[in-house]
């Protein structure tokens, strides 16, 4: 039955990231070498093709957005920002092509990117028909407090970053990759996350406050969240994150993906539940894997049949007119070969009762009829549960 293979997805993602880095590096060198041949852009003289180190870009202090420094319609080509601080600044209609941000801090009142582009799709090499460079920007070891509004963030790379109190609205995040990073209070509104992926990220809070719909596709992938503190509050946060992701996948009619994140969410919710709900959750998990693991029904059914087989040996069964019953009082008469033969008969009886098809060689005694009735009721429930779980997965 189809499900997300997280190990395989992570291996593919690592390979994809390595190829993208090589592609970006190759294109970066090529553009810097042939900068005169670059068409359609007016490179800014302050930053383009330069290494900018330990510089404040913006305004000191703490301001509201209306008092930010405004930078409009700037083309920043192949710039490297190392250890820079971006504060209280708004970039509008700007294009960042092949830029690298390393050890940078986006803080103060925050940084706004409005109608900005972080990707160069078109190819400079001829023939260019149907060819795309997909040269994206990269953020390494950055602390980001920002707002992306109506931007094209396709093919962005965030690695070892801390992304906090950040808003992504009406923005294309196609094929963007976030790895080994922390995401805390990230608000996503009506954006395109087709092909978007996370790898070994710690996500505390991610919200989708859509007016219309944030788009996911089959290639959208969120890695499992490994807990750190392992207390109730953390588990509740992780559970809510999985629930938000599951709802988004379902909204995009990606039902298999929905099922996997729903399952992860329920497993996490169980860890922060009180004792009675936790017991119920464990039963739900053991019997059918929260409706997402059909083989759990098979394993649970086999376990139930085995348990009732032992119960028939203890309460007694009628075998060819002779009552077979194992108790502590007759333990000295037990024989291993006879025990195995009787267990085979009790298993045969248990299977018949579980499936509701009746008895064969053996039948319940007056004492064990109660056990048989309980097993038949459990069997009816388990078969209905198993068929329902299997049908749910097959229909998807």
pLDDT (tens digit, 9 = 90+) per residue, 51-86? 999 999 999 989 998 999 999 999 999 999 999 999
Sheet holding 362-364, edge to edge: 322-324, 317-319, 362-364
What pLDDT is attached to residue 1?
40
Residue 258 dihedral angles phi and psi, to the nearest 5° = -55, -45
Q: Give the tokens for residue 274.
A: 């009180």
Quote the CA–CA distance of 167 and 144 in Å, as a whole number: 11
| Upper half-sphere CA count for residue 154 (Cβ side, 13 Å) | 14
| pTM for the full predicted model | 0.84
Q: Is 358 left (phi over 0), alpha (psi -120 to 50) or beta?
A: left
Where in the chain are all domains bearing CATH 2.160.20?
Answer: 6-223
Q: Is the pLDDT confidence value at 20 over 50?
A: yes
Q: pLDDT tens across 137-187, in order?
A: 999 999 999 999 999 999 999 999 999 999 999 999 999 999 999 999 999
Mean pLDDT value across residues 18-29 = 91
Mean pLDDT value across the chain: 89
pLDDT digits (tens, 9 = 90+) for 376-391: 999 888 888 888 888 7
Where is pLDDT greater, at 154 or 364?
154
What number of residues does the chain have? 396
The pLDDT value given to residue 178: 96
Please say if the pLDDT value at position 46 is more than 50: yes
pLDDT of residue 117: 95
- What is the fold, at CATH topology level, of the domain defined by 6-223? Pectate Lyase C-like (2.160.20)
- 131-148: per-residue pLDDT in tens? 677 889 999 999 999 999
Here the tokens at position 29 are: 């060198």
- In this prediction, residue 247 carries a pLDDT of 94
How much of the chain, in percent, has pLDDT values that exceed 70?
Answer: 96
Q: Angle formed by the axes of helices 255-271 and 275-288, to 10°?
A: 140
Whether residue 242 has pLDDT greater than 60: yes
Q: Exposure pattern of 228-263 as b/e (b: 16+ CB <10 Å)?
A: eeeeeebbebbbbbbbbbbebbbebebbebbbbbbb
More confident residue, 295 or 100: 100
Average of per-residue pLDDT across 322-334: 78
Does residue 329 or residue 197 have the better pLDDT? Answer: 197
Q: Taking 50 as the threshold, does the pLDDT of residue 35 lie above it? A: yes
Instruction: Tell me if 353 sits within 8 A of 372, measured CB to CB.
Output: yes
Locus of tokens 């505390």: 204
Residue 171 to residue 157: CA distance in whole angstroms: 15
* 43-47, 128-132, 256-260, range with the lowest pLDDT: 128-132
């Amino acid at each position: 039955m189809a499900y997300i293979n997280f190990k395989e997805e992570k291996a593919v993602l690592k390979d994809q990231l390595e190829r993208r880095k090589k592609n970006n590096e190759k294109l970066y060198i090529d553009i810097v070498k042939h900068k005169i041949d670059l068409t359609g852009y007016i490179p800014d003289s302050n930053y383009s093709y330069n290494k900018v180190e330990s510089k404040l870009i913006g305004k000191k202090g703490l301001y509201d957005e209306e008092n930010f420094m405004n930078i409009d319609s700037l083309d920043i080509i192949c710039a490297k920002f190392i250890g820079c601080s971006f504060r209280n600044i708004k970039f509008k209609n700007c294009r960042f092509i092949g830029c690298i941000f390393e050890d940078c801090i986006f803080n103060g009142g925050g940084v706004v990117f409005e109608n900005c582009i972080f990707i160069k799709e078109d190819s400079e090499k001829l023939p260019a028909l149907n060819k795309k460079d997909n040269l994206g920007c990269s953020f390494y070891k950055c602390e980001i407090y920002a707002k992306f509004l109506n931007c094209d963030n396709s093919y962005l790379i965030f690695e070892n970053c801390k992304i906090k109190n950040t808003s992504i609205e009406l923005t294309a995040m196609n094929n963007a990759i976030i790895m080994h990073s922390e995401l805390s209070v990230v608000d996503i509104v009506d954006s395109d996350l087709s092909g978007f992926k996370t790898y070994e990220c710690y996500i505390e809070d991610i919200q989708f406050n859509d007016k219309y719909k944030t788009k996911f596709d089959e290639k959208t992938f969120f890695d499992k969240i490994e807990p750190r503190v392992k207390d109730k509050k953390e588990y509740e946060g992780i559970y809510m994150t999985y629930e938000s992701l599951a709802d988004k996948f379902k909204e995009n009619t990606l039902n298999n993906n929905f099922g996997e994140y729903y399952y992860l969410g329920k497993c996490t919710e169980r860890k922060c539940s009180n004792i009675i709900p936790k017991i119920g959750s464990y039963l739900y998990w053991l019997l059918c894997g929260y409706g997402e693991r059909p083989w759990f029904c098979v394993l649970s059914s086999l376990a139930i049949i085995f348990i009732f087989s032992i119960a028939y040996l203890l309460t007694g069964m009628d075998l060819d007119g002779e009552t077979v019953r194992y108790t502590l009082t007759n333990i000295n008469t037990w024989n291993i070969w006879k025990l195995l033969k009787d267990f085979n008969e009790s298993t045969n009886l248990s299977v018949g009762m579980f499936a509701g098809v009746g008895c064969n060689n053996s039948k319940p005694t007056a004492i064990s009829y109660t056990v048989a009735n309980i097993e038949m009721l459990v069997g009816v429930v388990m078969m209905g549960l198993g068929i329902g779980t299997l049908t749910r997965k097959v229909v998807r």
